Amino acid sequence: MSALSGEELDLLEAIEHAPILDRTLDWAAINSGTGNLDGLAAMADRLAHAFAALPGEVRLVDPAPVEKVDSKGQLHEVGHGRHLVLSVRPEADHRVILTGHMDTVYAREHPFQSCTWLDADTLNGPGTADMKGGLSLMLAGLLAFEQGTPMMGYDVLINSDEETGSLSSAALIAQLAQGKLAALTYEPGLPDGAMARARPGSGNYAAVVTGLSAHAGRNPQDGRNAVLAASDLALRLAAGIRDGLTINPARIEGGAPNNTVPDLAILHFNLRPRSPELAEVARALVEAAVAEVSAVHDLHIHLHGHVSRPPKPITPKTEALFGLVSKAATDLGQPMRWQDTGGVCDGNNIAACGVPVLDTMGALGGSIHSPQEFMIASSLDARARLTALVLHRLDRGALHA
């Protein structure tokens, strides 16, 4: 670490492994699946207490209303937890945003609820990598950064609904991202330290198909089969898959007894365009498929959903931010590489605001969204040092000089 200045060495000296790990274990013991509102409330309180150690104001923000199509084709409101926001030095000329999420994919009833050490450095546990370890090391990095004489301001946003698309926090993300110099998001890095580069966009849809019921034996010709139409729509959408655009028909709900022509079906599907141009191609493709199936089957289809995560291309500003982070990592003895990924996150939303974002600043790990999820414990303090050093160099004008 000879490339580090004396000031930087002093800044990093305060970061210790044990407190970061202890917080991670404590937070991972709280089930905070996106739908577990009690668990999210407990997690938000725990986070608010921990982040109150930083200067500035901590507040919990109510989620925006979100509606979802149910199995009967009706819209109903879905509850979400509150989002944590910390604002430090809001009057500063240069400010950044750091983001993470408190929710996990493991529901209250999921059997994966506790942590197990696989070896001396590998922790298997729910949300350890994605991303309670990331939240803990983010806090450690900020605390170290504040030990210096910082001038730069920042906002911290920890939302409660990232795993289901951040629909109740999207407006808050956009509001806080405006005018920021840069953004750091604490999704997990890969076990080898690789960070995510470009990401596609993502949209989740529900096509409610309303047909006409009839007796399957006496007069089936008078019916309009909603399940058949939903299946036709799924096949037409899948036929639109091309380089840079994936479409995944995921589930058909509805139907009727075997002796009845079904008059209701709901097709749920996801699409991921790699670029804004392909997002427009996807929009036109979906509209055309819906119109064609409606006409061929003589029934009605109502489409819910949109591309809620815009594609995240790489801009010169993003390249400059990665160069800064990569240099800091190398100076810390943590060389890294950058690669495109098919996943999406809040970094997509931030990038859409014109802010350069590096969205895999969290703990290293893998097998996320499964009971095999693991975190590399030694990455906690290593990535906390990276956070503190990157913030320090941003504060010293590395991007705005």
Look at the alpha carbons of 188, 189, 190, 196 in this order and tell me if their dihedral is positive or negative. Answer: positive
Residue ranges of the domains in the chain? 6-67+79-199+312-396, 202-309
Percent of the chain scored above 70 by pLDDT?
99
pLDDT digits (tens, 9 = 90+) for 286-327: 999 999 999 999 999 999 999 999 999 999 999 999 999 999
CATH topology of domain 6-67+79-199+312-396: Aminopeptidase (3.40.630)
Q: Per-residue DSSP letters for 6-69?
A: HHHHHHHTT--HHHHHHHHHHHHTS--BTT-HHHHHHHHHHHHHHHTTSSSEEEEEPPPP-EEE
pLDDT digits (tens, 9 = 90+) for 127-184: 999 999 999 999 999 999 999 999 999 999 999 999 999 999 999 999 999 999 999 9
On the question of pLDDT at 2 being above 70, the answer is: no
CA distance 136 to 365: 15
On the question of pLDDT at 1 being above 80, the answer is: no
On the question of pLDDT at 260 being above 90, the answer is: yes
Nearest residue to 381 via CA among 52, 23, 37: 23
Identify the residue with better confidence: 336 or 27.
27
What is the mean pLDDT of the segment spanning 11-19?
96
Q: What is the band of 398 on the pLDDT scale with cuts at 50, 70, 90?
A: confident
CA distance 392 to 142: 10
Cα 203-209-212 angle, rounded to 5 deg: 180
Question: Would you state the pLDDT for residue 89?
Answer: 98
Question: Would you state the pLDDT for residue 259?
Answer: 98
pLDDT digits (tens, 9 = 90+) for 330-350: 999 999 999 999 999 999 999
pLDDT digits (tens, 9 = 90+) for 182-215: 999 999 998 888 999 999 999 999 999 999 999 9
CA distance 18 to 265: 53
Q: Which pTM value belongs to this model?
A: 0.95
On the question of pLDDT at 399 being above 90, the answer is: no
On the question of pLDDT at 363 being above 90, the answer is: yes
Percent of the chain scored above 90 by pLDDT?
97
CATH code of 202-309, in short, is 3.30.70.360
85 sits in which H/E element: strand 83-88
What is the mean pLDDT of the segment spanning 218-228?
98
